[in-house]
Structure 1
Amino acid sequence: MKTFALVLLLVAPATALLPDLLDKLWPEEEHGVFSGVAKIPYKDLLNDNSYVDPFLLQSMKTYGFFYVVDVPEYSAALEHDYMKQFYDLDEDVKDELAIRRHNPANKNAYRGYCPGLDDVENTLQYKNLYNIGPHETRGASVESEDVMEKLRYDCQEPNVWPETGNCTFHKGFKETFQAGFEIRRNIGRAFIRSIARAMNYPNLPALFAEDEFSAMGLRKYPIRKKINSNMYSDFDGTLLRELEHIDSTVTVLSTFNNGGLEILHKNQYRAVPVTGENSFIVNIGKLVDDLIDNKVPAVRHRVAEVDFDRYSITYFLGPQFDANIARSMSGKLTDAGQKYTIFGEWIKDYLGAIELFYY
């Protein structure tokens, strides 16, 4: 048993932590260098059981991520199957859902299908993406000429769902990923509450009271048909499907049983154990790290080349549009604060950068 766990036993209620639960929260050697990564039960995280807070915080400080496990009424296998069915649809069906850069007939810039392999020689991301947000309908149109008001409106892009003539598939696909979106959003918000308690930052959750631009991306990394010289790592020369990067906000990730994800730990990229049937990986990005005074690392990660079609789902929870991101919880000027005051200002430039980056 880890020393940290023994210390916690001294301060926790006698009935709160049983040995089997401690082994789950902080498992013994089973994944080598990542054996100490915490596994937090979904219900305990969502119910704000504060005994998980120090485990979560220590895992984040040491490794930069933790697992949420035992998620009820969730099936990774079902999501995985629906993703395969979606990406097996005829291209003309998926093109109907494509964002306006690829299909000018559509209004959405970000919610929808993003074919990413049009230019295999130059693309920096060897993947396809179908992006889902929190909105099913859009509010009233904005008449104002104010740029930020227009952006607030644009952030409410409604989802687009496949219409195949197969009502069973259409209904099951939509319901499955609407439910999956809510599960991930619950995890992201509960994580913020846990970090706020553990670090004594009571004002942090208020920044995430709304999530106008939270996003869930269904990603397919196809088997590579041609080597792209742009996709070799500058760090160690490894061939990649997703370049090395650091996220920006709160990330809830499903890798299913697909390997390939690697995290930079102690100056070496190491394979991360997969999420499996009913669990998720949670980490944070640079913007959130700055808000909490850089006390938890925003880990650099990548996806290495594998010899199969790889599927994953990445959910991002960002602050609300009007959240003040200029100052950290202790009042220090953040990196973003050198140029922006609220999250809406930041997202305006960030989305432009994403569009250039992806396409």
Structure 2
Amino acid sequence: MAATVCGAATAAEANMTALNCISISDPDIQKSISLLKQACLDSGFFYVIDHGISEEFLNEVFFQSRKFFDLPLHKKMELLRNEKHRGYTPTLDETLDPENQVHGDFKEGYYIGVEVPEDDPDVEKPFYGPNQWPSEDILPGWRRVLEQYHKEALRVSRAILKIIALTLDLDADYFDKPEMLGEPLATLKLLHYEGKISDPQRGIYACGAHSDFGFIALLATDDVTGLQICKDKDAQPRIWEDVAPLKGGFIVNIGDLLERLTNDVFRSTLHRVVLDGRERYSIPFFVAPKPECVVECLPSCASEMNPPKYPPITCAAYMNQRYIDTHLGPTSYHIQEMRK
């Protein structure tokens, strides 16, 4: 499967979309800019390879993810997602497409953000705070591996955003400015799909259709297919195409805040997960600017004939509303048992 993902799909993979591949280490930066710009204009999704994270380490991260989800439910619930959105999210916690879903998403997850100690002044900011960690007695070495992966994924994200800046005729370090990614909202999420068969006709999804909230998302997956994208979210009916996994590489997509920043020049893309009954593990990494960053239209993306489509908004305000819209409240978990 992975052998054809960077080129045209074979006849046997007729519904498998072909995405551009961007090599982070390619010395031909103009080639990378061209491929990435085309991808952002076409689908908002692309592959990233040669990113400097070894396949061996990626395998270790997936191994540690499985170890957590193999824990008894009561142990996982002891680490239930808190008001800072850190910790465990049970099955049905998220409903990403409430108009079309009869249940929440049939997946469980675990949020890990930038570590901010309790005595740090920034702990008062939205989404900032200490992570919740399983004890070393239960999962020895777990925190060390996941913190290292968070650091590496953020490094790769910054490299991708440098190329995105160049596609928009901005300075390469535009997104690295202190007011943007100086103290970013960078969230690692471990996901485990239990394998329930999806049935879109009946409103049953492993993960409902949605666009991501921030600037970009990096996705590492196992070899189980299921991710689908809709290149034109305004189309009726929507046309869904499968995205093949890429072992050792990332599937990357742009999010809502980058769409707002570019005035719809680059549009966030609807995607969902539809499964055939197999278990699936994936690890998305979401990158957004610091909470107080005001996201507003780039001057180069607006004109008299194309005025800004979105009002300025802080990252925290936008992200908070999206979480409210898509997640159960902490007191609502007993309800999900009745909904299964």
TM range (shorter): 0.7 to 0.9
1:157 is aligned to 2:129: yes
Residue of structure 1 in register with 2:158 after alignment: 189
Cα gap change, 1:109/1:73 in structure 2, threshold over 3 Å: closer, same or farther? closer
SS in 2 for 1:220: strand
Query: Which among 273, 276, 291 is matched to residue 303 of structure 1?
Result: 273
Secondary structure at 2:296's aligned position in 1? coil
Structure 1: stretches of 5+ with no match in the other structure: 1-22, 101-107, 143-148
Provide Cα deviations, 1:294-335, integer angstroms capped at 9, x if missing partner. Answer: 122311111002212211111110022232213334375655
Of the candidates 283, 289, 293, which is equivalent to residue 323 of structure 1? 293
Q: CA deviation at 1:352?
A: 2.8
User: 1:80 and 1:204, CA in 2 relative to 1: closer, same or farther beyond 3 A?
Assistant: closer
Higher RCO (CA < 8 A, seq sep 6+): 2
TM-score, length basis structure 2? 0.77
Partner Cα separation in structure 2 for residue 314 and residue 351 of structure 1: 16
- Alignment of 1:39 with 2:14, yes or no, is no
Paired position in structure 2 for 1:64: 44
Q: Does 1:257 align with 2:237?
A: no
Structure 1 residues 140 and 174, CA gap change in structure 2 (3 angstroms): closer
CA distance in 2, matches of 1:213, 1:264: 26
Q: Kindly indicate whether residue 308 of structure 2 is the aligned counterpart of residue 343 of structure 1.
A: no
Number of residues of Structure 1 aligned to a counterpart in Structure 2: 307
Per-residue CA distance 1:185-238 (angstroms, 9 max, x = gap): 1222222211111221334543532244221110111133xx8xxx753xx667
Unaligned runs of 5+ in 2: 96-100, 233-237, 333-340
Aligned positions of 1:1-359 closer than 5 A = 27=7, 36-44=18-26, 49-75=29-55, 76-100=58-82, 108-117=83-92, 123-140=103-120, 150=124, 152=125, 154-163=126-135, 165-166=137-138, 169-171=139-141, 173-202=142-171, 203-206=174-177, 208-224=180-196, 232-233=199-200, 239-249=204-214, 250-265=216-231, 267-276=238-247, 278-330=248-300, 332=302, 336-337=310-311, 340-356=312-328
**Which has more radius of gyration?**
1
Contact 2:61 2:146 in 1 (8 A): yes
Amino acid at match of 2:207: E
Distance 1:94 1:282 in 2: 29
Indicate how the Cα distance of structure 1 residues 327 and 28 shifts in structure 2: closer, same or farther if over 3 A, else same. Answer: closer
Given the two structures, how large is their TM-score scaled by the length of structure 1?
A: 0.74
Aligned to 1:19: none
Aligned residue for 2:206, secondary structure, equals: strand
Distance 1:329 1:192 in 2: 18
1:344 Cα shift?
A: 2.8
Kept in 2, the 8 Å contact 1:291–1:329? The answer is no
Deviations 1:139-160 (A, max 9, x none): 4358xxxxxx94x1x4222112
How well do the aligned residues superpose, as a CA RMSD in angstroms? 3.3
Residue aligned with 1:170, SS: coil
